[in-house]
């Protein structure tokens, strides 16, 4: 088996999935003439927040995740986004495969909180690979490992993330609340004769701000 290589050539929002899914298009090269029978591929995706700039509104929203901007030199560390496995079918030379990545809009999850804070620009991602390569040989197959140093970077447009979430939650977001907090909010909404949860939260914010 010759040196195997990986490149992410694009990301799209899956239009027909049952839940929000980003599809990473992965190009794999393995130049040996015998070709590859299959790869049991593992892929870890990390966000590298220190590799982009942020506007003032984004800085304010990201304070909950990274703390005061004066400390970002120490706190702007990589965030885990996804960890998944796929089977790559047989190929010789080069192939391209789709890697579906389920996504959450849960603002209690660090990656979801980070994505939701961004209005524009690109999200720097690092894709790290490992796994098992099954190669053709004169007598059956040989087995090798994907080297641990195999990785590639990709910059995901924030607009693609917005497009994905707007497909499933148009102009909306999600908050996870304790059951007792939700009941208190429900009572507040009922007592004030408010029609929607948005109205209840807007009134609470208005009263808090005076």
**CATH code where residue 13 lies:** 2.60.40
Give yes or no: residues 36 and 108 share one domain.
yes
- Which pLDDT tens digit goes with each residue over 60-97? 999 989 999 999 999 999 999 999 999 999 999 999 99
Using alpha carbons only, how large is the chain's radius of gyration in Å?
22
Structural domain that includes position 205: 177-210
**For residue 127, which phi and psi values (nearest 5 degrees)?**
-105, 120
Give yes or no: residues 43 and 114 share one domain.
yes
Contact criterion met (CB below 8 Å) for 126 and 55: no
Q: How far apart are CA 106 and CA 32, in angstroms?
A: 44
Give yes or no: residues 141 and 182 share one domain.
no
Give yes or no: residues 169 and 189 share one domain.
no
- Which pLDDT tens digit goes with each residue over 126-147? 999 999 999 877 777 889 999 9
> What strands lie across the sheet with 21-30, from one edge to the other?
5-13, 21-30, 93-102
Give yes or no: residues 111 and 182 share one domain.
no
Give yes or no: residues 132 and 207 share one domain.
no
Alpha helices in 33-178 (DSSP H): 56-66, 72-75, 110-117, 158-168
Give yes or no: residues 135 and 118 share one domain.
yes
- In 10 A of CB 205, how many CB atoms? 9
Give yes or no: residues 148 and 183 share one domain.
no
Give yes or no: residues 120 and 196 share one domain.
no
- Which pLDDT tens digit goes with each residue over 14-47? 988 899 999 999 999 999 888 899 999 999 999 9
- In 10 A of CB 132, how many CB atoms? 13
Give yes or no: residues 210 and 155 share one domain.
no
Give yes or no: residues 57 and 136 share one domain.
yes
Count how many domains the chain has.
2
**pTM for the model:** 0.85
- Which pLDDT tens digit goes with each residue over 95-120? 999 999 999 877 678 998 899 999 89
Give yes or no: residues 12 and 109 share one domain.
yes
- What pLDDT is recorded for position 2? 64
């Amino acid at each position: 088996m010759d040196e195997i290589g990986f490149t992410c050539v694009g990301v799209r929002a899956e239009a027909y999935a049952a839940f929000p899914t980003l599809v990473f298009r992965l190009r794999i090269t393995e130049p040996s003439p015998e070709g590859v029978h299959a790869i049991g591929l593992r892929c870890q995706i990390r966000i590298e927040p220190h590799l982009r700039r942020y506007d003032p509104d984004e800085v304010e929203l990201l304070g909950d995740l990274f703390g005061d901007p004066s400390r970002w030199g120490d706190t702007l560390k990589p965030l885990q986004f996804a960890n998944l496995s796929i089977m790559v079918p047989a190929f010789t030379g080069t192939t391209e495969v789709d890697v579906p990545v389920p996504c959450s809009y849960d603002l209690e999850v660090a990656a979801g909180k980070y994505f939701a804070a961004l209005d524009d620009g690109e999200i720097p991602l690092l894709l790290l690979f490992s796994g098992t390569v099954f190669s053709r040989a004169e007598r059956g197959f040989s087995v090798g490992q994907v080297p641990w140093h195999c990785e590639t970077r990709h910059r995901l447009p924030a607009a693609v993330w917005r497009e994905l979430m707007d497909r499933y939650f148009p102009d909306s977001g999600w908050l996870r609340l304790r059951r007792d907090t939700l009941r208190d909010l429900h009572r507040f909404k009922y007592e004030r004769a408010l029609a929607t949860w948005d109205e209840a939260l807007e009134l609470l914010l208005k009263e808090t701000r005076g």
